[in-house]
Structure 1
Amino acid sequence: MIAHSGEGADDRQRTGRAVTRRAVIGGVMGAGLLEMLPLGTYRQNEAMAEDLAAGPYRGDDGRVLFTADAPQVYTRAQWNARAPRRAAEVVDRPPDHIIVHHTATANARDRSLAHAFALSRSIQNIHMNKNGWDDAGQQLTISRGGIVMEGRNRSLKAIRSGDLAIGAQVLHHNQHTIGIENEGTYMSAAVPGALWKSLMEVCVWLCQKYDLDPSEAIVGHRDYNNTSCPGDVLYARLPQLRRSVAERLEGTSGQSSTSQGGSDGGSILSPLLPSLDDLG
């Protein structure tokens, strides 16, 4: 495994080119979190968007997962994050790429909120204690149950403002990218439906917030560094992810103009220490 993230790496010479959406994007609609409903067709996405327009989308336990405007992102205070060694640098520009990672941890069966919060705390502890970083490296984390959490400090506020909290999730490219950690190891295992659907909606949200073209902006960690991350299976699905996000955005744009009058096993902790060199 190759270490690929670096605190304080000199990334000020941006090598990735800025990407701009080709079409005006309206507010993000649609949840896509019904585990029994497959992704991939405009009709399905449109139906989910219509359902969401009536109110927030909830999981089986009643927990709100997505609203019409953005995913439900649990804050650092909610998962009880440690204080960072220093505040993250926030730059007043958008990222130009969204980096998809896997955590290279066990493919746990536990889909609970408690498990997701424990995952975020474990990642932060490894990044700070083992890697010696100021905080968790990634800006966002998604559990196998589809729960979305803030990672590095100041990330959520920065996203909502259209800015970027500089992370430590992809070596030499932290200054112009934003990273999403996806719980699990996807070298050969399938990606859980709940995680996949949350990943899609998070990418919709980020592309809308930052005016990004998903066909060019969504990439895997291995596209930048010498690493197996985000796993062969998840990496092979990135073209599908780009298409699904683009479809959702295009459908959202049309709905917005119309409405405005025409215009699976293992524990979380035991594999964490030896396998986090694939973590962003």
Structure 2
Amino acid sequence: MRSRALVSRRALLGAGALAAVAWPLPAARTVAGCAEWGARVPAEQPEVVPRRPERVLVHHTATENVGDTSERHAFELARFFQRLHTDDRGWGDTGQHFTISRGGRVLEGRHGSLAALRSGDRLVEGAHCPGQNRTSVGIENEGTYVTETPPAAQWDALVWMCARVCRQYDIPPTEIHGHRDFYGDTVCPGDAFYALLPRLRADVALAL
């Protein structure tokens, strides 16, 4: 049964893009913490909000859709965004709470986000969406998805991560949204990705 599903998926996806076909539940995985990927000490210690977030916001990085799926690349990506957000934008640290590479590597973004998630009763204030930084978990997905869709490995990791966040914080999957839903001056997470959000909510509900 699983083999037939995978064969069908490959036939429909071609070069690995996502399509509305039957997917096996995502495998268990881990989140690489800031220390693991070599984060700098944040310029400002993020504030901890002493309550559960209300929703999940999905973003794309608007970077190149690279073919490098290695852990090394994922760690370099995390360091790049910390430098960009700290040095160029003055946010004190990485803006989003978590980042998912195109290879399906899940990384902590802003310092303290993983510890807050494990606690299940608090949130580190982010810098990923004005008006939502104290009430939403921001998950950034490497790539640009205006016309392309996320590769399978990234999608599976996103489903797993959203399910973990929803379970820990008691957030219903219906509260998974795109960045553009709360910030009008952006196409994030891209038209093609945004169209898949109903599927994402359904897959997360199934994983839960």
Whether contact under 8 Å (1:127, 1:137) holds in the other structure is: yes
| 1:92 positional shift | 2.1
| 1:189 positional shift | 1.4
- TM-score computed with the length of structure 1 as normaliser: 0.65
CA displacement, residues 198-257 of structure 1 (integer Å, 9 cap, x when unaligned): 000101101100111102x100000000210000111000000001111221xxxxxxxx
| Runs of 4 or more consecutive aligned structure 1 residues displaced over 3 Å after TM superposition | 34-42
Give, in whole Å, the separation in 2 of the partners of 1:168 and 1:225. Answer: 13
Query: Is 1:207 matched up with 2:178?
Result: no
**Alignment root-mean-square deviation, CA:** 1.9
1:37 to 1:93, Cα distance in 2 relative to 1, 3 A: farther
Whether contact under 8 Å (1:40, 1:244) holds in the other structure is: no
Whether contact under 8 Å (1:102, 1:229) holds in the other structure is: yes
Aligned to 2:178: 220
Give, in whole Å, the separation in 1 of the partners of 2:129 and 2:6. Answer: 31
Give, in whole Å, the separation in 1 of the partners of 2:188 and 2:141. Answer: 10
After superposition, residues 13-52 of structure 1 pair within 5 angstroms as 38=9, 41=22, 44-45=24-25
1:36 to 1:202, Cα distance in 2 relative to 1, 3 A: farther
Give, in whole Å, the separation in 2 of the partners of 1:109 and 1:129. Answer: 27
After superposition, residues 156-171 of structure 1 pair within 5 angstroms as 156-162=114-120, 163-171=122-130
CA displacement, residues 32-91 of structure 1 (integer Å, 9 cap, x when unaligned): xx987858658x44xx7xxxxxxxx5xxxxxxxx2xxxx400011111011101211112
Give, in whole Å, the separation in 1 of the partners of 2:33 and 2:172. Answer: 27
Amino acid at match of 2:155: W
Give, in whole Å, the separation in 1 of the partners of 2:95 and 2:54. Answer: 18
After superposition, residues 78-157 of structure 1 pair within 5 angstroms as 78-157=36-115
Query: Is 1:240 matched up with 2:196?
Result: no
Aligned to 1:7: none
Amino acid at match of 2:111: N
Identity value in percent: 46
Structure showing greater radius of gyration is: 1
Give, in whole Å, the separation in 1 of the partners of 2:132 and 2:31. Answer: 24
Gaps of at least 5 residues in structure 1 are 1-33, 49-56, 58-65, 250-280
- Pick one of 155, 178, 181 that aligns with 1:196: 155
Whether contact under 8 Å (1:190, 1:233) holds in the other structure is: yes
Query: Is 1:72 matched up with 2:30?
Result: yes
- TM-score computed with the length of structure 2 as normaliser: 0.87
| 1:192 positional shift | 0.6
Whether contact under 8 Å (1:35, 1:193) holds in the other structure is: no
- Count residues in correspondence: 192
Whether contact under 8 Å (1:108, 1:184) holds in the other structure is: yes
Q: Secondary structure at the residue paired with 1:141?
A: strand
